[in-house]
Structure 1
C-alpha cells in the first residue's frame, strides 16, 4: 500500500546496482491465457471513464505528467486521467501528508499497530516516539481503496475519536468522490511536493507517483488484481515469495495481510525502478532473477494504461 521512506533501513539496500529489464523470458506457469484479459481491463477502464463523464466528480482530470509537474503549497486533488476512479492527493509536504494518512496506514498495514481499532492521536504519537519516527517519516506515499477509508472512518466514529483537520479533509474528499457510499469502488493515493525544504527531490516524487499509481490499478481494476495474484501465486517460486515477504516485513508491513504483501511485492518489483527505493539486493535475489520476473510480468500483463508505465521513463524533464 504505502511507500515507506527510502532511507529508513539503508542496511537492506546494500547492493550497488539497479534492476535492469532483461529480454522477455518464456512465461512460467501458463500465463499466456492472461493476455486475453487485456481486452477486459481496457473495457473496464473505458467504462469507468464513461461513468465519470455522466457523473462528474468535483476534481480535475490529470495525467501522470501533469500531476508530477504540479507545484502548490496547498492540498490539491486530481482524478487520474487514465482511470478516474483513482484520486491523487498532492500534499504540500511530508508532514501534512502524514497528518492526513498516517493513522490509516497504522490501521491497515503496519504490523505493530492494532487492526481492530484506530489509535488515538496520543497513542499514535507514542508509537512514533518509540520507533524514533516523526509524522513526516512514517511513509513517503500512500494508497488505499475506498473500502479501507470507509472502515477507518467507521471505526473512528464508533470509538468516538477526534479527527485532525487533515483527516477531516480526507473524509470530505472521499465523500465528494462518492467513495463513502457502501460498496463504492475507487482508490485514493497520495504524493508529497518536492523541492527545496521538502526532503523529497523531483526524482523521488516521480518514483513515488509511479509506485502509487500501480496500487491504484490494483484496487480499481478487478482483472488486473486477479492477474497480480495469479502471477504471485503461480509464477513466482516459494523462495522468491519468501524473499519479498521478508523484505516487506523488515519495513513494518503486516505479513498477516496476504493481499498487502502481494500488492506491495509487485509494486516494488515492477513499478519501483529506482536504486534509492528498491534494488535486487534488498530482497536477497540476484539481478538476473529480478530482471526475468519483471520481463515476464510485463510481457504477460493485461494491455491497459498501466502496462506502458512498467517500462516508460519517469516524467522528469531535463
Structure 2
C-alpha cells in the first residue's frame, strides 16, 4: 500500500538502511547499534550505509506528537496539496468533502516509519504473522529479504481506523511493549478521536481498543527532506505518494469502484496475468492475498505517476503487459461509473 522504490537520490542498497536507522534509533534492538547517541544502518558488520543519525533528531520529531492542541486542519480534498507544510511538521487534515478521510503529514520518512512499521507488518506484509506483533528486529530482518527497510515500508500508508485499533489491541493482548513511535501514534489517534479504549471487554484491565467509526480511514505521507539513506522527498515525490494512497481511499470508500476493480481482476484478466501481477507484488513484500493484491493493483495502475510505477511488463506466455492491463482496468472503472449514473 505504498509507493515502492524509485525515490530520487537513493539506490536500492542505500534504501535498505533507512529503517534500520529508525528501528535502532527508537528501540536499540537492531544489530550493530553503536555507542549511545548515534545509530548505524544495515546489518551487523556492514561496511557501508548512510551516515549515522543522532537519536535526538528523531526523538524531537516524535516529541512534537505530544504537544497539546496540535492543529487539525479541516478542508476539502481539492485544497489539500496546497495546504501541506513545507517543513518537518506533524499535522492532521480532516477532509470535509470526503467524510471519514483523514490525512497525516508526518515530520519525516523516518518518523513515519517509527510510527507505522509494525502496523504494516501485522496488517499487510508477506511472511509476517497477522495474529501477533513481532519485534522491530524481526521487521527489519524481514524487510532486508526484499531489499527494503521499516522506514521505506511506509513511504506512504493507508489504514482504516479499525486496522490501527486492531494493532494496538493485538499488542495489548500479548503484552507487547510499544515503541516510542507507536506510543506517539496511539496518543495522536486517541486525541483526534479515531480510536479509543472501550470498557467492559476482555483485554488488559477489562478494556479493548476500538475504532470510533468503521468509516474512518487514515492516509499518511512524509514531510519533505532528505532521508537518512539519501532518498529525497520533494514536492513531486510527496504528491505522488499522496495520489497513490488516496487511490486506496477510493477503493475503501466507493463500493462501485471497488466492485469494478474486483470484477476486472476475476473476469477480465487471465489466470496467467493474475499470477504474474501477484508474483510482482509478492516480490515487493506484499501479502499475496486477493484483498491486498487487487487494492494495490488499482492504486498503482490508476493513481501512481508513471515514474514511480514499480510494476513492469513480463514478456512471454506466462507474463503480463502492464499497459494493456491498465487500459482494461480504466475501461472497467469508467463503465461502472456510467452504469452507476444511469
Q: Which structure 2 segments of 5+ residues have no match?
A: 13-70, 196-209
Q: Map of 1:1-318 to 2, 5 A cutoff?
A: 1-6=1-6, 59-64=72-77, 66-69=79-82, 70-71=84-85, 72-128=87-143, 133-175=148-190, 176-179=192-195, 180-181=210-211, 184-195=214-225, 199-255=232-288, 257-278=289-310, 280-281=312-313, 285-286=320-321, 288-302=323-337
Q: Which structure 1 segments of 5+ residues have no match?
A: 11-57, 304-318
Alpha-carbon distance in structure 1 between the residues aligned to 2:276 and 2:293: 11
Are the equivalent residues in 2 in contact too, given 1:272–1:278 (CA < 8 A)? no
When structure 1 is superposed on structure 2, of 231-240 and 152-161 the one drifting more is 231-240
Rg: which structure is higher?
Answer: 2
Are the equivalent residues in 1 in contact too, given 2:2–2:244 (CA < 8 A)? no
Are the equivalent residues in 2 in contact too, given 1:186–1:219 (CA < 8 A)? no
> Aligned pair count?
255
Structure with greater strand share of residues: 2
When structure 1 is superposed on structure 2, of 136-145 and 171-180 the one drifting more is 171-180
CA displacement at 1:91 relative to structure 2: 0.9
Are the equivalent residues in 2 in contact too, given 1:78–1:89 (CA < 8 A)? yes
Are the equivalent residues in 2 in contact too, given 1:195–1:202 (CA < 8 A)? no
> Paired residue for 1:315?
none
- Greater relative CO (CA pairs within 8 A, separation 6+): 1
Deviations 1:22-76 (A, max 9, x none): xxxxxxxxxxxxxxxxxxxxxxxxxxxxxxxxxxxx8322344543341232311
Q: CA RMSD in A?
A: 2.9
> Residues 236 and 186 of structure 1: is their aligned pair in 2 closer, same or farther, counting only changes over 3 Å?
farther
SS at match of 1:246: helix
Are the equivalent residues in 1 in contact too, given 2:146–2:283 (CA < 8 A)? no
TM-score where L is the length of structure 2? 0.65
Alpha-carbon distance in structure 2 between the residues aligned to 1:289 and 1:80: 34
> Residues 287 and 161 of structure 1: is their aligned pair in 2 closer, same or farther, counting only changes over 3 Å?
closer
Are the equivalent residues in 1 in contact too, given 2:243–2:304 (CA < 8 A)? yes
Are the equivalent residues in 2 in contact too, given 1:86–1:188 (CA < 8 A)? yes
Deviations 1:175-217 (A, max 9, x none): 3334433762221111112245662122211111011001112
TM-score where L is the length of structure 1? 0.70
